[in-house]
Amino acid sequence: MHVVVMGAGVVGVTTAWQLLEDGHEVTVIDRQPEAACETSFANAGLVAVGHALAWANPRALRTLVRSLIKADQPLRFRFRADPAFWRFSLAFLRQCTDARARVNSRIKHRLCGYAQQVLQQVVTATGVEYDGMRGGILYLHRTPETLERGVANLWILAEAGQPMEVVDRERAAEIDPALGPTKDRIAGAIFCPTDESGDASKFSRALAAVCAGRGASFRYRTTIKGVDVASDRVERVLTDRGEVRGDCYVLSLGSYSPLIEGLAERIPVYPVKGYSLTVPIDGANNPPTKGGIDEDNLCAYVRMGDRLRATSTAEFAGYDTSHRPADFAHILRSLRDLLPNAADYGRPQYWACLRPMTPQGTPIQGRGRYRNLYYNTGHGHMGWTMACGTAKITADLVAGRTPDLPLDGLTLR
């Protein structure tokens, strides 16, 4: 079968790999000059199964109200005159109950755990290099109160079998000695020893090269305008460089998935902007040996080879990806406080991009009204963690196999 994959982010590339494994002919279309140039380019790199909580929960309402009152918050919620914004916000609010948060977190956690296993299989099978670091992630809390709340929040994942250890500041500094000099600034942490990290763009580009070597065709610098449909089938993809036909199609355009013209079906994905900072590490630095999240400041950090990456902020800015140095003040403050000598903070590279969020926080899988169109999109803040798993699910569906996980809560609804 000839499968056309729309999008060469981490989701599109991992899907291409799984489709090739099944012996399909694969064409991948992307507007950028290479794989992973947009949201998959400089994310935090955490494969954070131990953090697979739904963003929509009763506490999110408090955070939202605070963000309306105070500037420089990790959540920047502003009202917008955009119908898609209102649809997303209302649907998100409907998910903010204890019961919905519990269901969504369980689904997310199961998918993330599965995806991590598939990631490890892909790495073993291909040998791709991606500055991966195994050995756990530390979820750090500054005060006993926030640590207590963090433990209560993560309890739902502990119940689902997620390995985790609640540690005091001394033990946290033992787990990551880079925290030794500043351990007094935290009360403790939740350590998830099976979590890991790595550079999603390095991974995607290396995997794309493996796929190309196995015969996949990557049509870069090609912008998709829309699709032509006839009844319940997609007939062809329309691009600025002509049409592309296949037997079936996978939609993996991240935040841009709902903008594709020609589909008589609404895709509930909305962009939520995040900021990312990368700084070089040299021999004199004392970089972290584990990925971490400063939970009180919602700032994630990871060592990626000779670079330190840190990300933060969820901002409702439509499709705007612009950024100014002031947008990163919050991230730098958190990093300098916790890891003052981890990297050369004087040489920052700034970047911003859009998380493809669904109200539930779970990605969209399977088919909608078109028999030969498969959705693999809406991975939100955990697309790197989930990508290999949803790629395998998509390939299973294309092949007519039953996926390893039930699709409850993962299909268009």
User: Helix, strand, or coil here: 264?
Assistant: coil
Residue among 187 and 405 whose Cβ is closer to ligand FAD: 405
Q: Does 382 bind ligand FAD (CB under 6 A)?
A: yes
Q: In angstroms, what is the minimal distance from the CB of 144 to ligand FAD?
A: 26
Cα–Cα distance for residue pair 233/242, rounded to 1 Å: 19
Q: In angstroms, what is the minimal distance from the CB of 312 to ligand FAD?
A: 7
Looking at 42-50, 58-66, 133-141, 329-337, which segment touches ligand FAD (CB under 6 A)?
A: 42-50
Q: In angstroms, what is the minimal distance from the CB of 363 to ligand FAD?
A: 8
Looking at 40-48, 75-83, 98-106, 124-132, which segment touches ligand FAD (CB under 6 A)?
A: 40-48
Cα–Cα distance for residue pair 47/382, rounded to 1 Å: 8
Residue among 75 and 187 whose Cβ is closer to ligand FAD: 75
Amino acid at position 29, single letter? I
Q: Does 51 bind ligand FAD (CB under 6 A)?
A: no
Interface of this chain with ligand FAD, residues 295 to 354, rule: CB under 6 A: 300, 311, 353
Residue 263 token pair: 């589909």
Residue among 24 and 381 whose Cβ is closer to ligand FAD: 381
Candidates 230, 251, 206, 246; CA nearest to 376 is 251
Candidates 242, 238, 243; CA nearest to 225 is 238
**One-character DSSP codes across 229-253:** EETTEEEEEEEBTEEE--SEEEE--
Q: Does 37 bind ligand FAD (CB under 6 A)?
A: yes
Of positions 18, 43, 153, 365, contacts ligand FAD by CB under 6 A = 43
Cα–Cα distance for residue pair 124/116, rounded to 1 Å: 12
Q: In angstroms, what is the minimal distance from the CB of 62 to ligand FAD?
A: 22
Residue indicated by tokens 């033992």: 174
Q: What are phi and psi of 248, to 5 degrees?
A: -145, 170
Amino acid at position 209, single letter? A
Q: In angstroms, what is the minimal distance from the CB of 107 to ligand FAD?
A: 16
Q: Does 268 bind ligand FAD (CB under 6 A)?
A: no
Question: Do 301 and 294 meet the contact criterion of CB atoms below 8 Å apart?
Answer: yes
Residue among 187 and 296 whose Cβ is closer to ligand FAD: 296
Q: In angstroms, what is the minimal distance from the CB of 166 to ligand FAD?
A: 22
DSSP, res 273: E
Binding mask 362-381 for ligand FAD (x = CB under 6 A): ---------------x-xxx
Cα–Cα distance for residue pair 45/130, rounded to 1 Å: 10
Binding mask 207-226 for ligand FAD (x = CB under 6 A): ----------------xx--
Amino acid at position 315, single letter? E
Amino acid at position 344, single letter? D
Question: Do 140 and 185 meet the contact criterion of CB atoms below 8 Å apart?
Answer: no
Name residues whose C-beta falls within 8 Å of residue 120's C-beta, 6 or more positions apart in sequence. Answer: none
Residue among 18 and 276 whose Cβ is closer to ligand FAD: 276
Binding mask 269-288 for ligand FAD (x = CB under 6 A): -----x-x------------
If you compute the radius of gyration of the chain from its CA atoms, what whole number of angstroms results?
21
Work out the angle between the directed axes of helices 200-213 and 98-126 (0-180°, nearest 10).
50
- Binding-site size for ligand FAD (CB under 6 A) equals 41
Q: In angstroms, what is the minimal distance from the CB of 194 to ligand FAD?
A: 15
Looking at 7-15, 89-97, 154-162, 167-175, which segment touches ligand FAD (CB under 6 A)?
A: 7-15
Interface of this chain with ligand FAD, residues 58 to 87, rule: CB under 6 A: none
Residues that bind ligand FAD (CB under 6 A): 7-12, 29-32, 36-40, 43-46, 48, 223-224, 252-254, 256, 274, 276, 300, 311, 353, 355-356, 377, 379-385
